[in-house]
């Protein structure tokens, strides 16, 4: 089972598992950013290299769909490069008017198959209301499928975030903290399975297997 994959197994891989988290909030003191840090701690617990991509630190153009006709800024290429180097990506967003934050949607529009194709994606949603960011995460699942990524079943919703975080950015609720860390762990485990030599060998053998003569 995927839960049985250990830190030692992951650290023994030829290629280090790298997990990046993209924060879809620009607000200082953002609860979304705090939640993403906790999820990345879960990935680090299993030996993954982690990086928090804080979109406040990037001067991103608006996506204009004219890749060949107009050059994008250096920060767009930096974002693309950092995402492309990861085997796992965690997307974290506040829910604004029932959807994904504009800054995260624009960042995703500036990327594509080269950054997300075949990657493992975990989702985190933060909201001020009681329901949580369900609509935003449903949108991110659709986006993930459209860029050929594997969106893991595990996700974390933090409703009424203003009540559950303390002034240091830590959660008062241990269940929420464990849920966030488990998103990071699952992204790491699935990324390991997807890139491990054993998994590749199994897929190659499965593809080469003769057809079942009794299939008709």
In a domain, 216, yes or no: no
107-131 pLDDT per residue, tens: 999 999 999 999 999 999 999 888 8
In a domain, 213, yes or no: no
- Can you give the length of the chain in residues? 216
In a domain, 214, yes or no: no
| Percent of the chain topping pLDDT 90 | 69
Contact assessment for residue 178 and residue 160, using Cβ atoms and an 8 Å cutoff: no
Global pTM value: 0.86
Domain of 22, CATH number, reads: 3.40.50.360
Distance CA 39, CA 54 (A): 14
In a domain, 215, yes or no: no
Positive or negative: CA dihedral 171, 177, 180, 184: positive
66-97 pLDDT per residue, tens: 776 567 999 999 999 999 999 999 999 999 99
Instruction: Check pLDDT > 90 for residue 12.
Output: no
Instruction: Count the domains in the chain.
Output: 1
In a domain, 25, yes or no: yes
Distance CA 196, CA 107 (A): 29
Instruction: Give Dmax over CA atoms of the chain in angstroms.
Output: 65
**Confidence (pLDDT) at 16:** 85
**Confidence (pLDDT) at 56:** 97
In a domain, 36, yes or no: yes
Q: Are strands 18-23 and 88-96 parallel, antiparallel or unpaired?
A: parallel
Average pLDDT along the chain: 89
Question: Domain span at residue 138?
Answer: 2-208
Instruction: Check pLDDT > 90 for residue 5.
Output: no
Contact assessment for residue 158 and residue 123, using Cβ atoms and an 8 Å cutoff: no
Residue 188: closest CA among 4, 38, 46, 33 = 46
Of 109-118, 145-154, 163-172, 175-184, where does mean pLDDT reach its minimum?
163-172
Q: Where are the beta strands (DSSP E) in the chain?
A: 18-23, 49-54, 88-96, 99-100, 120-126, 150-158
In a domain, 13, yes or no: yes
In a domain, 197, yes or no: yes
Highest mean pLDDT among 7-16, 120-129, 163-172: 120-129
Distance CA 178, CA 9 (A): 22
């Amino acid at each position: 089972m995927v839960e049985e994959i250990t830190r030692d197994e992951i650290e023994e891989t030829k290629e280090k598992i790298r997990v990046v988290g993209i924060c879809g909030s620009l607000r200082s003191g953002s609860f979304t950013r705090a939640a993403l840090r906790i999820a990345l701690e879960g990935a680090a617990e299993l030996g993954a290299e982690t990086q928090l991509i804080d979109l406040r630190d990037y001067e991103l153009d608006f996506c204009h769909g004219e890749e060949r006709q107009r050059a994008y800024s250096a920060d767009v290429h930096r974002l693309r490069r950092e995402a492309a180097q990861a085997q796992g990506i965690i997307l974290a967003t506040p829910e604004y008017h029932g959807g994904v934050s504009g800054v995260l949607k624009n960042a995703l529009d500036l990327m594509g198959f080269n950054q997300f194709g075949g990657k493992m994606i975990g989702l985190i949603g933060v909201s001020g209301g009681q329901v949580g960011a369900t609509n935003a995460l449903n949108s991110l699942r659709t986006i993930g499928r459209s860029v050929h990524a594997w969106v893991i079943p595990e996700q974390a919703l933090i409703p009424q975030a203003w009540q559950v975080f303390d002034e240091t950015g830590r959660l008062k609720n241990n269940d929420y903290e464990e849920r966030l860390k488990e998103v990071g762990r699952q992204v790491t485990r699935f990324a390991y399975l997807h890139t491990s030599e054993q998994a590749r060998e199994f897929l190659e053998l499965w593809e080469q297997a003769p057809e079942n003569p009794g299939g008709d």
